[in-house]
Amino acid sequence: MDIHPSTVNASLVQFDARVLDPQLNLERMRALAVAQAAAGAQLIVFPELSNTGYVEPLEPGAAFSEASGGAHDYALRLYQAAEPEGGPFTEMLCCVAREHGVHVVAGLALRHPVLSGAMYNASILVGPQGVLGVYHKIHRWHLEKLYFIAGDTISVQQTPFGRIGMQVCYDIRFPELTRALMLQGADIVTNVWASFRQQDKPLEDEQIFTHRAYTRAIENGVFFLSCNRAGRQGNCRFMGRSLIVAPDGKVLAESRTEEEEVIQAELDLSAVARYRSFVGLLTDRRPDVYARHGAAPPLGAS
């Protein structure tokens, strides 16, 4: 008999992280997480690199922002702002989760546990019992390659309300990752973003984040939680527009702004089995055929 709760209340916090100011970001994240827990959230999600702000320069050839302190020793300052193993962000998130009985996903810059100067762009999941999982971003966008080691593992974490898989921003463009999470049992996939545009260039497609989240949700029959950043950094604006999509593609909640905002939705976890069994996602897959034509081999094959 299924003993898991059939629903979970999720909040996505479209947060504006201050550049290289982890103390301020920590205090604001704590207050926002506590407020969402008080409002009934059971799963709270924060964007990519919430502790440090996004890496600079934001684009190849662009200038460093004034807030970053410039190019000289920027990598060292980023490393110093990143989270050490068991550091203050981890401790704070675990404390909030324990005191309020919630689960939290947060995008963080994490220091390598052994190699001084090395970092990961990561997503961490914590619950009342502590850290449940850490995902290191596999697909690094543009200049992230200057600062972060690429991850190489994919895993799903069990929670009282279902299995959660994590990814980060650019990962969404690689459908194999979401499929791998689904095949490991994910009911919910979180994607944390720091996606931006140039300040003077309007967004060409207002539905760009909807298209991506909708596609990954219906391809795999998962709840897809897409949490982007807000605010400005240098001459760029982060595009917000966070959203929550059900397994059948229904948009349960969405932001239509680039400003700070929290979106909330109740996820009915029974929708995962309902959608997958009706569509036949698992029974109709033909990994043996795909493998013969250059796609990934069948699950479990060497």
Model pTM score = 0.95
Count, residues in the chain? 302
Predicted confidence band at 203 (pLDDT cuts at 50, 70, 90)? confident
User: Are 233 and 54 in contact, with CB atoms under 8 Å apart?
Assistant: yes
Question: Which residues are CB-neighbours of 44 under 8 A, at least 6 positions away?
Answer: 10, 11, 13, 33, 36, 37, 102, 103, 104, 105
Residue type, 164: I
Q: Between residues 18 and 5, which one has the greater pLDDT?
A: 18
* 116-151 per-position pLDDT tens digit: 999 999 999 999 999 999 999 999 999 999 999 999
Largest CA distance in the chain: 59
The answer on pLDDT for 298 being more than 60 is no
Mean pLDDT of the chain: 95
Above pLDDT 70, what percent of the chain?
96
The answer on pLDDT for 9 being more than 80 is yes
Q: State the pairing for strand pair 130-136/119-127.
A: antiparallel
The answer on pLDDT for 52 being more than 90 is yes
Residue type, 255: S
Alpha-carbon dihedral sign for residues 256, 237, 231, 18: positive
* 235-264 per-position pLDDT tens digit: 999 999 999 999 999 999 999 999 999 999
Predicted confidence band at 5 (pLDDT cuts at 50, 70, 90)? confident
The answer on pLDDT for 302 being more than 50 is no
Distance CA 80, CA 92 (A): 18
State the average pLDDT over residues 64-73. Answer: 96
Distance CA 259, CA 237 (A): 10
Distance CA 162, CA 96 (A): 20
The answer on pLDDT for 299 being more than 90 is no
Predicted confidence band at 89 (pLDDT cuts at 50, 70, 90)? very high
What is the H or E stretch that residue 196 is in?
strand 196-198
User: Are 223 and 270 in contact, with CB atoms under 8 Å apart?
Assistant: no
Predicted pLDDT at 294: 86
Q: Within a 10 A sphere around the Cβ of 259, how many other Cβ atoms? A: 12
Predicted pLDDT at 4: 62
User: Are 56 and 24 in contact, with CB atoms under 8 Å apart?
Assistant: no
The answer on pLDDT for 1 being more than 50 is no
Q: Can you spell out the DSSP letters for 184-208?
A: TT-SEEEEE---EEETTS--S-TTH
The answer on pLDDT for 301 being more than 70 is no
